[in-house]
Amino acid sequence: MTGFLLNHDAKRQNPEAAAALLPFRSRIVVGCLTNVRGSSEAMRQELDDFLALSGFGHVDLWYFVTPTPPLRDTFVEAFVEARRAGKARFAAMTTHGLPNHVEALVAPGSPIDAVMLVHNFTTSPEVSAQVDRLHAAGLAVTPMKPMAGNFTTEKTGEADAQHAAALRWLIADARVGCVPTVMTSLAQVEANAAAARVPFSKEDDAVLGAWKPRVSERFCRDCGACAGSCPRGIAVPGLVRAAMYAEGYRDLDRARREMSAVPADRRGPACRDCRACAVRCPNGVDVRSRALRAIALA
């Protein structure tokens, strides 16, 4: 079974791509992400716009992107109406702040069926325990950032081995329902399919162990722990994310968009003036080097 997770903004969809998928609709799982911050009516309208533009009669998974608890409840209201109308089968959400939602998600009768959260070979024992709870409660778990920021080494052979090992690590995790990866060429599809056919091995574990220190000092999990912690007012989360998109994903356009979202007076040259960074990331990210990398994009 193949799945496609499509953008939450219907106006940015590619109608030609959707049309190409229509003949295979009965054989694929379609998910849609929505990011509307408003009423349940506005959320349902965006789903309607997506369905009209794509030509799909319904979506299998309707994801709401990083809701606050009150917005999660509004989305559930929208989903109940959409399911009643035959437009969505299962309710899902993405989150960078699982602790804020986990109790509601695992509660008996929770209307959320699936959760997408940051989960990969760098996952901490604390987050892994929360994944255990979701799985035990019967929720489908989808990993976000499966390649941990994509901070592969420069050598092609090593990078290929790192990608394959990270993919197999997740496939071997019985709690994971599927592994979403961006594939922009047939060669990437074939490489991922080949990697998925091989079981996770001791060699893979060694590859990830050697790679993990490089990733840990660079990979932003978007947990928000560093927000407001700089004594000079630098918007640390935005800068660290921008550096991740520039250096890890090699997506300079996305990195610059992240930077442009940060107020100019909070990007600073202030980082250059500090001899030692006061911000400590609980996940081990080297905040000062990441901030300086992002400032260099401006």
Instruction: Identify whether the C-beta of residue 141 lies closer than 8 Å to the C-beta of residue 131.
Output: yes
- Report the alpha-carbon distance of residue 159 to residue 298 in Å, rounded: 28
pLDDT for 12 beyond 70: no
Q: Which one of 79-88, 182-191, 248-257 scores highest in mean pLDDT? A: 79-88
Residue pointed to by tokens 């000062």: 288
Cα 185 to the center of its chain, rounded Å: 21
pLDDT band at 39 (very low <50, low <70, confident <90, very high): very high
Which pLDDT score, from 0 to 100, does residue 13 have? 55
- Band (pLDDT 50/70/90 cuts) for residue 106 is very high
How far is the C-alpha of 280 from the C-alpha of 82, rounded, in Å?
43
Given a contact cutoff of 8 angstroms between Cβ atoms, the answer to whether 165 and 146 are in contact is no
8: which DSSP letter?
Answer: S
Q: In the prediction, which pLDDT does 54 show? A: 83
Please report which confidence band the pLDDT of residue 189 belongs to, taking 50, 70 and 90 as the band edges: confident
Q: Could you read off the pLDDT of 14-31 as tens digits, one per residue?
A: 667 777 888 888 888 888
pLDDT at residue 170, as a whole number: 97
pLDDT tens digits, 109-127: 999 999 999 999 999 999 9
> CA-to-CA distance for 290 and 245, rounded, in angstroms?
11
Averaged confidence pLDDT in the chain: 88
- Tell me the pLDDT tens digit for each residue of 157-184: 888 999 999 999 999 999 998 898 877 7
